[in-house]
Amino acid sequence: MKFKRIKNSWFIANKHYLIPVFLFFTIINFAVGLFFAVVAFSIWGVNKLRARLPIDPGIEGKSETIIYKTIGTTTLKMDLWRPPDNSPGTATVVFAHGGGWVSGKRTQPNIVSWSRFLSSRGFSVASVDYRFAYMNNMAEIIEDYSDSVNFIQNNAERLGVNSKIILMGLSAGGHLALCHAAFNTCMSDEESESALSQNLMKGVCGVVAYYAPTDLIDLFSSEDKSFFARFGAGSAMKTLPRFDEDVYEKYSPINSFSKKMPPVMAVHGHKDEVVPFHSSVKTIKRLKALNVPCRFLIHKNGSHGFETKMKDYRTTLILEETVRFMRKIAEK
């Protein structure tokens, strides 16, 4: 029990033990210390580059890069992946990468693997980039994702993709997908009938969120040991919960869930060290209380990003169940 507490401690979970090891070797011999740092960074880099889903789609697939938004001198792009037969697909998945709102890219290996997999299963995929929190706030980041959804809504026929839309994301990207759905369905009946809100949710048939933080204050709980998660949230909010809890509540989609939410699938690893597993548990409980159709898939041994780290049967099953859920909501 004592060993388990040490293993799950903030110091170990964030790999801060590497810092004194690096300093020790550097003091003894700078060259040895530098070698240690290079090896550690190389291992991290190789793992990132090898991040793939355990299911080989059997096709290489090709994507088309499109600019969906321009802000000043900044251009935001999406990679559009179509099914092998070049049809519009069962639905179009607007896919947001993770990275704590401060990192990540649509072209990184795990996102390309996801895009290839989903397109091989008959979906069009719009894998999108968005601005980061270093120079932007959470409202602007959510706005970028919503604008990518709106771009697909307004250009589906021209782009040759299905006008039915599934919002999807990993981690911070899942948070953005849930925010778009929650914020645009929690309006009064009168507001939801307006042309604006109809347009924002036009064609949206569901949300798939992998290990997404839905209550941002959870990232600062004792259950969460990730310095990266806290740094990302603090950067996006420009404050910390102890100084302004209201802003964290505002941008926590769970607080805006309503009975008008589209169907939701939440997926989470029980051993997630970045986004607390309990965050998804609360999500499902809240959705069920509102009678919103939902599914919850759990990997009992899964950590953050487990679907590209683990090659076991349970991971494969979760991926196939995700596809079945997406097909089901798209066909309604």
> In tens digits, what is the pLDDT along the chain, a chain of 332 residues?
444 444 444 444 444 444 565 455 456 655 654 554 555 444 444 455 457 898 888 777 789 999 999 999 999 999 999 999 999 999 999 999 999 999 999 999 999 999 999 999 999 999 999 999 999 999 999 999 999 999 999 999 999 999 999 999 999 999 999 999 999 998 755 554 454 455 789 999 999 999 999 999 999 987 766 788 899 999 999 999 989 999 999 999 999 999 999 999 999 999 999 999 999 999 999 999 999 999 999 999 999 999 999 999 999 999 999 999 999 999 98
Q: Specify the 3-state DSSP secondary structure of 297.
A: strand
Distances from the Cα of 47 to the Cαs of 33, 54, 132, 309, in angstroms? 22, 14, 23, 9
Quote the tokens at residue 195: 């042309």
Whole-structure pTM value: 0.86
Q: Specify the 3-state DSSP secondary structure of 319.
A: helix
Domains of the chain, first to last = 2-45 (no CATH), 57-331 (3.40.50.1820)
